Amino acid sequence: MKLYHSMRSLYYLLMTFGLFISCEDYKPNDLLPNRNVNVTIDMGLPMYQNLLVPSGYAYTPISPEFGFKGILIINRNGSGFIAYDRACPHYGVNDCTAMTYDGLYLNCPCDSSQFNPLNGGVSSTVDYQARAYHVEMLSATVLRISNY
């Protein structure tokens, strides 16, 4: 019985210590403010038909409903889709133009930083990640992109 209470005390002590460590060093993935995104994409439309091809990609228009600088959507070789905001995550919203995609990396035009969309939007040169959005298939040709 005494061992049980000792183990239980140790467990609570470790949990408390873990909470302090995890809350101490929090750094957001990007410098962009919060914005609600909840849009549907019809891949049957001419501007999105490239998404029907494995490794194909498309840009959404640049407007408030599509994030900050529009969204890049990539077909991951038939195993689903990923989507990223084209705003450079380490600049303010109006400090840089939209990132471009070269088939391998999202490229920030302000400082040539590159973000790997197939590896979570990480960069080897900056500490921030490209802002990812959740992608859900609603039908064979319709996607929902959202941040919730």
The CATH code of the domain that includes 102 is 2.102.10.10
Instruction: Give the number of other CB atoms < 10 A from CB of residue 35.
Output: 15
- Is 7 a member of any domain? no
Digit-coded pLDDT (tens) for 89-115: 999 888 999 999 999 999 999 999 999
Share of the chain above pLDDT 70, in %: 81
Residue at 88 is within a domain: yes
- Mean pLDDT score across all residues of the chain: 86
pLDDT higher than 80, residue 132? yes
- Residue 127 maps to a domain: yes
SS (H, E, C) the chain: CHHHHHHHHHHHHHHHHHHHHHHHCCCCCCCCCCCCCEEEEECCCHHHHHHHCCCCEEECCCCHHHCCCCEEEEECCCCCEEEEECCCCCCCCCCCCCCEECCCCEECCCCCCEEEHHHCCEECCCCCCCCEEEEEECCCCEEEEECC
Range of the domain at 112: 38-146
pTM here? 0.80
Asked whether residue 121 is assigned to any structural domain, the reply reads yes
Tally of domains in the chain: 1
Q: Read off the tokens for 71.
A: 């969204």
**Tell me, what's the pLDDT at 62?**
93
Residue 49 domain flag: yes
pLDDT for 21 beyond 70: no
